[in-house]
Structure 1
Amino acid sequence: MKQIRDEMAAFLKQEDIQKLVGKLAAQIENDYEGREIIFICPLRGSIHLTADLMRRISLPQQVDFVFVRSTEKGGAISMQKDISINITGKDVIIVEEIIDTGRTLSYLKDRLLASKPASLKIVTLLDKPARRELPIRADYIGKTIEDRYVVGYGMDSDEKGRNYSEIYVLKN
């Protein structure tokens, strides 16, 4: 059966991704030394990065999941599944596999800030500022990329390819 990656070119190999994850984990551990972190994982794409970060960070931690979706391109954003733990007064990190337009991330950030965490930061594996519609920036960035369509390591094309351990781009 043909895979979507068969029509794509390799962009980041598994080893490269893990180096970026290690760099991000070290930065977070350094910044949060002696504190507990609550990771917020937006479903579905961020599950791989969240799991890898959690395994690499030895600080006390919790995780919760949200599902935020945009109804259509440029359309309304809605919360399909909200957090279930109390983040008031806690150190919270939103984990994103990629920041593109920033619309859903901005919505999620505002929603979480309403719960009055002690701190709220954003970590992303990939940052694509060329597509940004809102002025939002991650505190921890694995790699800044050009405006390319990527699939793998949680990122998908019509829900296909999330399971790839490497990241691929459309062939030019």
Structure 2
Amino acid sequence: MSANLEHIQQVMAEADILFTAEEVQAAVEQVAEQINQRLCNSNPVVFCVMNGGLVFSGNLLAKLTFPLEQSYLHASRYRNQTSGGELFWKAKPEISFMDREVLIIDDILDEGHTLSAIIEFCKHAGASKVHTAVLVDKLHDRKASADLKADFVGLHCEDRYIFGYGMDYKGYWRNSAAIYAVKGM
């Protein structure tokens, strides 16, 4: 076993569980119910933000009971750029959303720089309205802007380094059904 793998396993062994698999599933159900009520007649385009949003999006989409088009996008933001908010697209949206409502699904709203930039991109590219759904909203005062809030939130958590259910620790543990916090972080 490599030292890297041993470290990754040790992180899980010592991690604090914040939300059990059952609590996470209940949150996904609750978000789906809210989205079903609010977007059922809007014919939205739904984008999963890769890679983190994959698990949440996959489970959430199966619970949405209305017609929609689904795709993904993969964007990152250069952290050292002085003109914050510019995106580097690894995969741009492939479905046209001109004059349509958009739902962006992501794993977590932490500081929100990338999510905020994706929202602005969609608005400028012609979306009639942009909604956001996140599994976790991290509670702190470092958001990209004071008014940045997700429309649909499953869980709220303390300001710690979390992983599981799509969120990773050094690329690992996205596959966990529960959500954990790294010990001491």
Query: Is the TM-score greater than 0.5?
Result: yes
Deviations 1:87-109 (A, max 9, x none): 01212111111001110011111
Structure 2 CA distance for aligned equivalents of residues 143 and 30 of structure 1: 19
Residue 22 of structure 2 corresponds to residue 10 of structure 1: no
How many equivalent pairs are there?
172
Match of 1:63 in 2: 70
Letter in 1 for 2:127: P
In structure 1, the gaps of 5 or more residues are none
Structure 1 segment 25-64 matched on structure 2, within 5 A:
25-64=32-71
* CA-atom RMSD in angstroms: 1.7
Deviation of 1:35 after TM superposition, in Å, equals: 3.2
Letter in 1 for 2:143: R
Q: Identical aligned pairs, as a percentage?
A: 25
Structure 1 segment 36-115 matched on structure 2, within 5 A:
36-72=43-79, 77-115=87-125
Structure 2 CA distance for aligned equivalents of residues 15 and 64 of structure 1: 27
Between structure 1 and structure 2, the one with the greater Rg is 2
Deviation of 1:74 after TM superposition, in Å, equals: 6.8
Normalised by the length of structure 1, the TM-score is 0.92
Residue 134 of structure 2 corresponds to residue 124 of structure 1: yes
Normalised by the length of structure 2, the TM-score is 0.86
| 1:12–1:166 Cα contact (<8 Å) kept | yes
Deviation of 1:7 after TM superposition, in Å, equals: 2.5
| 1:68–1:81 Cα contact (<8 Å) kept | yes
SS in 1 for 2:33: helix
Deviations 1:112-140 (A, max 9, x none): 11122222111111111413132311111
Structure 1 CA distance for aligned equivalents of residues 80 and 136 of structure 2: 21
Structure 2 CA distance for aligned equivalents of residues 73 and 134 of structure 1: 18
Letter in 1 for 2:74: F
Deviation of 1:32 after TM superposition, in Å, equals: 1.6
Structure 1 residue ranges, 4+ long, deviating more than 6 angstroms after superposition = none
Deviation of 1:73 after TM superposition, in Å, equals: 6.1
Deviations 1:132-153 (A, max 9, x none): 1323111111122221111110
Structure 1 48/73 Cα, relative in aligned 2: closer, same or farther at 3 Å?
Answer: farther
SS in 2 for 1:26: helix
